[in-house]
Structure 1
Amino acid sequence: MSRIVVAMQELKEKIANLEAALRALSQGPHPLLREEATAPSSTSTETLASPSGSPSQASGSNGSQPSPPEESHSEEGEEEVLDAFGTLTLGTRGEARFFGQTSRTEYLIHAPERLGPTGNFLTLPRLTQVTVDEACKELDVFCTNEQVAEELLSCMPTMEQALRLCDIYFENSKFLWYPLPREYVYTEIVLFIYQPPTGDYCHVTKKHALSLLFMIFALATLYDLTMPPYSAEAMEYYLLARIALRWAPPTYDTTLAAIQSLLYMAQYLEMSDCEPAHTGSHKAWVQTRHICTLGYSVHVSGCKWQLDDVAIAKRARVFWQLFAQDTWLSFGFGRPPSINLAFVDCDIPKPEEIMSQNGTNWSTEFHVWSWQFSKVLHNVMTTAFAATSPTYAKIIELDKRIRDFPDPPCILPPTGPSSPNASDNITRTMQSLLVTLSKDTTHLNLHRPYLSQALKDSPEDPLRHKYGASVMIIYRSAWRILNALQSAYRTASGITTRISLPWSHSLACAILLCLMITRAPTSALANPALVELDKICELFEEAANSSQIATNNIHVLRKLRKQAHAAITKVMAEDAALVNSELDRLGGRTQLIRTVGERRLVYCSAVRFGNYELLTRQKEMSVFETQPNPNGYVQGFVSRDQRTDDPLPNPPPYDTDEFNFYFSGGQAQPPPPGQVQQQHAPGASAQMPSGHNIDWIQSFLESTAAPPQSQTQVQAATEPVPTSAEMDATWQALVAQLGI
């Protein structure tokens, strides 16, 4: 080692002498004496220090100077990342909210809005204000109010109603949430709560089981097609589940039943959220973070402690539900996930068989597939949307990995000669819709920046751009999402209109299609994109009478459509200069929004759900504060002892210009290049079964004198990335042109 140091010192001295001699002999500045030529190169130093290095390699490194271009490229990459962090909103009172580059479109649309408080609240007919206040307290605070306990028990549905809600829960669990085993629900929860053994003590397990049962009721009521959407009964069950957990706070007594109940609470908040401010989704994201903290231990396989196979499988199923929930909520808000797979030692469990109401079994392979795909999405998030941008080759590699990920066999049509079942057809259609959303929304977020670059560089024919592959991938993914939503709406409109996710992603697709049309109106994709945009606008118009999420964003679709048609007909809007900033922000570009003053918006809707007038009065809502759902969702509460009967006059038609979205303007093939029921205390007509036989359910239903409840009506029909300033500034310029 000392010899190398001595040799290097001798070489430095010789170089210094040669440079001095060269200066003395040269009449003018010699090219070899420039600062960049005489600066030491990290590559040449490394070559000299390497035993295998040769003088020719050293001189070649100095001559070619690869380091400066690499540093320049690194700086450009960093600049691009800094301009793709998303949207940050700052209010006058210091409140802040962040939406990352993969945020759902409707979150970004309403991010700038600051909605004022309101005095109108959702009425919860069976709950007093004391109970509501107890339910809204933190879950780590013990509840010792006996009055609340008595009120909770009085709100229990009858046994017959409970069994009916359980059937709805199991039917929709085939594609919306992971189900608990039917035998476990009926024998260890329902019967345990309604027919407790003599002298049984209300211990922690029973309290958590009661909370879990209330969440089963809440989810089932949310998708009970005989009830209005976002009904007050569903929120009542949710609040009662929180109180039951507070009898034995999971912070101190953590059980699998408590974690499962919390998971269902987060899913309920996200599924029932239909207000523009999306307060429920924010609560769901925060609560999922809390569940991740409580759930640490299930991320490690139970075989490490020699648990039995049944316990290992239960823990694994709870963990992967939590993992998928955290990953997708984080992806929807453009925020990093809270679970690091490097610390996970828990295999995805195999699908299990769940007994149906008619005695047949169905598999949970769709849910297992969703867990497996969540792992892929987690890798995509940490690779493509991390602090360092990947190369375009890496984006294509991630895209191929998603595209090659096999679809679950359950979405394939049956091959046998048996007649199609309406319920099975609905299940298969909804599963296919969710598979399409999972894969193609990932494609859209991966390729969106490259679409903007292609539209900027080659508006005449973006398909011939070096990022033309991204243009075609985005068009095809948007086409698949829109057609999957159309198919699901035609097959099961009642369920489809209550799920916000497909409508959210369809709105994002409409924005991307409008970009293609307005920025490249002469390209081969412009006219096919306009056809698809017209279809999705018509679908939103049709669904606006039954879907609040469609109602909230229909005015955006109308303006997108107007802008697209104006571009195709060569009629450009007068406000072309103002159309260039908002769509880029919706696409995830960094933007800071400062609220100059308090802004109030009047949110009105005359939407009717079946025979229910869900909103006929003027309401004010808030993005940042807890506010009411104009269509029955719960943010603020009015108890039965605090109702007010002060009807407001009917408001004038809602002016969509208040939102400040300034716009100027069959299946197609992609181109080749319920009334509220009165609840009673549980009856005692059922008898305690022996063992785990659940045949008592049928005998109970046959022996009860009460008339059977109407069943849910099923509806069926048979290189590296270019310079930073270019990539995201281009997306900003493009999105702004649509004037959202």
Structure 2
Amino acid sequence: MTDRIKELEHALQEAQKSTGGASGSHPLLRPSVVKDDDGEQLNLQTLFDQEAEGISDAIGSLSIGIDGQAKYHGESAGSEYFQELLPPEQNERRMLQDAKNLGLPYEIVDLCNAFPFGLRDCPYTKHQFVSFLPTRERALELAELYYDNVAWMYDPIVRNDFMTTIMVPIYGNTGIVNVDSVHSHRISVFFMLLASGILYDNHPSAAVIAEQYRALALASFGLDSVLQEATCATVQALLMIVRYIYISDRTNNETRWLLVGMCSRVAQIIGLQRDSAGWNLGHEEIQRRRVLFWEIYTFDAWTSVVNGRPPSLSINHTDCRFPDDLDPTLKPSGNVEMGWHAWKFRYSAFCLSISVQHVFSARVPSYSTVLELDRNIRKFPLPNHLQSPMQVSEAGRAWSSERTRAMQQYCALCVRESNLLYIHRSYFAQATREASNNPLTHKYAPSVLAAYRSACRLISSLRGLYAVHPLATSLQWFFWSGIYSSCILLGALVVESPRCSLARNALQELDQALIFYDEGSVNCRPPATITMLQKLRQRAFATFTAAQTGILDRSSPTSSNPSAPDELEVLGGRKSIITNKSPSSSPASHATSSPHCGTYHTLRHASDDFIKQFGSANPSLMEYYGALGNPGLVLPATKDFDMPYVGDQTSGEYSLSPLSGSEDYNTPSQSFDLGQHIDSMTYGDNQRTQPTYQQSGRSETIQPRQPDLQRHAQSENIPTREYNQEEIWRDFISHLGMSRPNQS
């Protein structure tokens, strides 16, 4: 077809020449044109160039190796991932466990090396794994460790499912091993569960045994190639492998990223994105598929945000309903609150999904959209048992004495505050650079405060959790990653805006957070992170001191190597191209831990300096906090970002009333009707009504489009806002011309 078109164009050209046509080319040979509403002709290339002006300037960072190897992280990426892009101070080989060094037979090593696709013609069988299975009693011990220490956050195979589909078929009632009826991918799930569980065992060889179980999981996964068949167990195994790598090897991010993508693709192959109720499957299979989809969706979405790369799954491509809540909490009053996993799935669908669309839109949405997203995140209801105190305890709140419950308390806070940090960070960077003397006068002043307060909240709350459950907290890198990003933000505020009224407090927070991070994260952090924070603290202190003495020189280089990239440019997500002479590696850190945690310094919101600063604040700042129900601009770090309290419920139903802009949701006495806004779920007689979402009636529309959340609900007759294609397109076009100022 292309050749034929070229022939016709050539013939038309020749015909025009032979007939002595007028000067200029034939209309059909001119560049493609369209007409606007007034009939004016517009060149398509011109249109594209105009639209391209709306593309975000904060496109992230690209690392290019000497042979063309490339690695990209977008502007939302977690700071520790940007650190991988910086030129290394020294070369260091990654110490990765190799299956051939684990004392396993050749057949197992061969299969392990073929992961994830397996061998083309596999000569091995499941029976070659029987000798590596532990006793039934030991398997149950490790399973208990897994569910206590790992599955509290992500639980792709719930305990009852594990027992009925894996433990009983393998061990039966006698404890004698038999794998004849167990699919190889379920064997992989079993070994992966054992590997994850033993990481938390006090066995002296736990780390080595964990690697052996991991190798056995990879090997058994390859017995039946994923290219030929896939089941729910296939997806479970892949997600559990990713989680194991996250826990045990902080240097292996790219392996995790690729496997998450593969996991998502396999999930789509077996149709997890579509709800299973219409296929007349059994109740257990339907619940298994729903649990698995929402675990994958949540993990994929969050992984994409912290890596700064688009996700594999989209909320707009699924109608999968939420699974049954297997862990509801009974209040003393007899009313019921949703459990952690049920809340997590709903937050992912209603908040994280929209954040993902916002973060990865190449064309920048309006700033009002960002603030509306901010408000939706803050007002998303949180059950009482998941609310966390600011420090060790406070009136009406305390950390649970049960370790896993306390972890879930902080995780709920960490997810929300980190989410806010990521959506505001690029605006924070622009404000602090473009209005360095007083970023609170900048049009993005709300983002400055929002990011600063989220950073303080992440740090102070984790300090409280650490005081109650130090060992468990010290092993959760997901928590410490938020502290690392918070420290980067605090340091950036001081370096970029040392004369800002927040700078002194930010430097104090950074000092205390650095001591805390050094002590608490030693068991799980990437080795180079503490060195990076120490350098940033030195730079922040020097800049602040110079600003206070009046000798600050903004033109002086920030790096001893003028040709090297500015670390804050890279860590802040700004456009950077970094050329490495060798593959990136992280320098080792030998910083000693401090036994002292320090005292948390809250905002001096009552100080004259603070009030004076707000006296000249940008009007958008006043509007922002007025819309949050805090028109007096009272900004205590412990309260104004709290989730609304869930009031008493009746008949065992969740309830929350829609929030108006004038409501002060810091007041504990207020009650909310959770059923009208998020969810209606009745417990009793095996009847469970799935959640629905109702718009709060705001006139401002979030763009990109909010997902059609009615598809995720079993409850009918819920009034949800439907958008036609014209409205979607009109909103989309209206945002194309709204670009941010160039970042300096």
TM-score (norm 2): 0.66
Question: How much does 1:527 deviate?
Answer: 1.4
Return the offset for 1:432: 2.2
Higher mean displacement: 489-498 or 514-523 = 489-498
Name the aligned partner's letter for residue 507 of structure 2.
L
C-alpha distance in 1, partners of 2:324/2:435? 49
In structure 2, relative to structure 1, the CA distance for the partners of 1:279 and 1:117 (3 Å cut) is farther
- CA 1:245/1:386 → structure 2, altered by over 3 Å: closer, same or farther? same
Show the counterpart of 1:427: 404
Tell me whether 1:556 sits opposite 2:537 in the alignment.
no
Is the contact between residue 181 and residue 354 of structure 1 (CA under 8 Å) also seen in structure 2?
A: no
* Structure 2 stretches lacking a partner, 5+ long: 1-33, 330-335, 390-396, 594-598, 611-733
Distance 1:590 1:351, change over 3 A: same
Task: Identify the residue that residue 190 of structure 2 maps to in structure 1.
Answer: 213
Instruction: Return the offset for 1:354.
Output: 9.4
Select 1:85's aligned residue among 59, 62, 69: 59
Partners in 1 of 2:427 and 2:398 — Cα distance? 44
In structure 2, do the counterparts of structure 1 residues 239 and 409 end up closer, same or farther at CA, with 3 Å as the change threshold? Answer: farther
Letter in 2 for 1:575: P
Pairwise CA distance, 1:559: 1.0
1:589 is aligned to 2:574: yes
Q: What is the alpha-carbon distance in structure 2 between the residues aligned to residue 400 and residue 490 of structure 1? A: 31
Deviation at 1:424, TM superposition (A): 4.4
Residue of structure 2 equivalent to 1:473? 450
Change (3 A) 1:186 1:204: closer
Question: In the aligned structure 2, how far is the partner of 1:228 from the partner of 1:459?
Answer: 53
> Which residue identity is paired with 2:582?
E
Report what 1:452 is aligned to.
429
Q: What is the deviation of 1:391? A: 0.6
Q: Secondary structure at the match of 1:224?
A: coil
* Cα distance change, pair 722–516 in 1 and its aligned pair in 2 (3 A): farther
Taking structure 1 as reference, are residues 287 and 239 closer, same or farther at Cα in structure 2, changes over 3 Å only?
farther
Separation (CA, whole Å) in 1 of partners of 2:413 and 2:463: 12
The verdict on how the C-alpha distance between 1:552 and 1:154 changes in structure 2, with shifts beyond 3 A counting, is: farther
Kindly tell me: are residues 530 and 111 of structure 1, through their superposed partners in 2, closer, same or farther at Cα, counting changes over 3 Å?
same
Distance 1:250 1:456, change over 3 A: closer
| Corresponding residue to 1:344 among 298, 315, 318 | 318
Pick one of 270, 275, 300 that aligns with 2:274.
300
In the alignment, the residues of structure 2 paired with residue 581 and residue 379 of structure 1 have an alpha-carbon distance, to the nearest angstrom, of 31
Aligned to 2:358: 383
Whether the aligned pair in 2 keeps the contact of 1:101 and 1:587 (CA below 8 Å) is: yes
Which of 240, 244, 256 is equivalent to 1:268?
244
1:482 equivalent to 2:459? Answer yes
Measured at CA, do residues 368 and 458 of structure 1 come closer, stay the same or move farther in structure 2, by a change above 3 Å? same
> Paired residue for 1:400?
375
1:576 partner SS: coil
Change (3 A) 1:144 1:494: farther
Moved more, 95-104 or 405-414: 405-414
Please, which of 504, 518, 524 is the counterpart of residue 541 of structure 1? 518
Instruction: Tell me which residue corresponds to 1:670.
Output: 603
Amino acid at match of 2:276: G
1:257 maps to which of 227, 233, 236? 233
8 A Cα contact 2:363 2:736, kept in partner: no
Q: For residues 130 and 484 of structure 1, do their structure 2 counterparts lie closer, same or farther at Cα, with a shift above 3 Å needed? A: farther
Cα separation, 2, equivalents of 1:203 and 1:521: 68
1:107-122 → structure 2 map (5 Å cutoff): 107-113=81-87, 118=93, 122=97
CA distance change for structure 1 residues 200 and 221 in 2, over 3 Å: closer, same or farther? closer
Q: Which has the larger radius of gyration?
A: 1
Check if 1:248 corresponds to 2:230: no
For residues 347 and 264 of structure 1, the distance between their equivalents in structure 2, rounded to whole angstroms, comes to 22
> CA 1:348–1:108 in structure 2 vs 1: closer, same or farther (change >3 Å)?
same
Q: Secondary structure at the match of 2:55?
A: helix
Alignment partner for residue 558 of structure 2, among 564, 576, 580? Answer: 576
Deviations 1:133-189 (A, max 9, x none): 321203433598788866633322233321111111121256322164434433542
**Bigger shift: residues 243-252 or 435-444:** 243-252
Q: Secondary structure at the match of 2:577?
A: strand
Secondary structure of 2:600's partner? coil
TM superposition shift of 1:92: 1.8
Equivalent residues, number: 551
Q: Hey, what's the Cα distance between the residues in 2 that align with 1:119 and 1:307?
A: 46
Higher relative contact order (CA 8 A, sep 6+): 1
Q: C-alpha displacement at 1:74, in angstroms?
A: 9.9
Identity %: 26
Secondary structure of the residue aligned to 1:669 is: coil
- One-letter code of the match for 1:576? T
**Kept in 1: contact 2:427–2:447 (CA 8 A):** yes
Residues 1:232 and 2:208 aligned together: yes
Report the AA paired with residue 540 of structure 2: A
1:393 CA displacement: 0.8
Gaps of 5+ in 1: 1-39, 47-66, 356-361, 415-419, 610-665, 674-718, 731-740
Aligned equivalents of 2:125, 2:382: Cα separation in 1: 48
- 2:470 is aligned with what amino acid? S
* Contact 2:122 2:223 (C-alpha < 8 Å) held by counterparts: no
1:366 equivalent to 2:343? Answer no
Q: Does 1:521 align with 2:505?
A: no
* SS at 1:521 equivalent: coil
The answer on 1:598 being equivalent to 2:582 is yes
What secondary structure is seen at the aligned counterpart in 2 of 1:569?
helix
Name the aligned partner's letter for residue 191 of structure 2. F
2:635 maps to which residue? none
How far has the Cα of 1:351 moved from its partner? 0.7
- Return the letter of the residue paired with 1:399: D
Correspondence for 1:492 among 469, 479, 487:
469
**Inter-CA distance 320–499: structure 2 relative to 1 (3 Å threshold):** same
Read off the aligned partner of 1:667 and give its amino acid letter: Y
Deviation at 1:348, TM superposition (A): 1.1
- 1:301–1:293: structure 2 CA closer, same or farther, 3 Å change rule? closer
Residues 191-216 of structure 1: CA distance to partner in whole angstroms, max 9, x if unpaired? Answer: 32134889998556443332221111
Contact 1:546–1:607 (CA<8 Å) still a contact in 2? Answer: no
CA contact (8 A) 2:400 2:406 kept: no
Shift of 1:560: 1.3
| Aligned equivalents of 1:80, 1:456: Cα separation in 2 | 21
Whole-Å Cα distance in 2 between the matches of residues 453 and 120 of structure 1? 39
* C-alpha displacement of 1:554: 0.7
Quick check: 1:505 aligned with 2:482? Answer: yes
Question: Could you tell me how far apart the structure 2 residues matched to 1:403 and 1:460 are?
Answer: 29
Which deviations, in whole Å up to 9, do the C-alpha atoms of 1:469-507 show, x marking residues without a partner? 111111111011112222232232322232222222222
C-alpha displacement of 1:253: 3.1
**Displacement, 1:462?**
1.7
Change (3 A) 1:109 1:163: same
Kindly provide the amino acid, as one letter, of the partner of residue 587 in structure 1. Answer: G
Q: After alignment, is 106-115 or 575-584 more displaced?
A: 575-584
In the TM superposition, 1:159-174 aligns within 5 A as: 159-173=136-150
1:321 to 286, 289, 295: 295
How far did residue 401 of structure 1 move?
1.0
Aligned-partner Cα distance in 2 for 1:119–1:328: 26
Q: CA deviation at 1:221?
A: 1.9
Cα-to-partner distance string for 1:101-131 (whole Å, 9 max, x where unaligned): 1112111111244786859664754424552
Is the 1:105–1:586 Cα contact (8 Å) retained in structure 2? yes
TM-score normalized by the length of structure 1:
0.66
In 2, distance between residues paired with 1:96 and 1:44? 46
Q: Distance in 2 between matches of 1:377 and 1:73?
A: 32
Determine if contact 2:366/2:738 at 8 Å carries over to the other structure: no
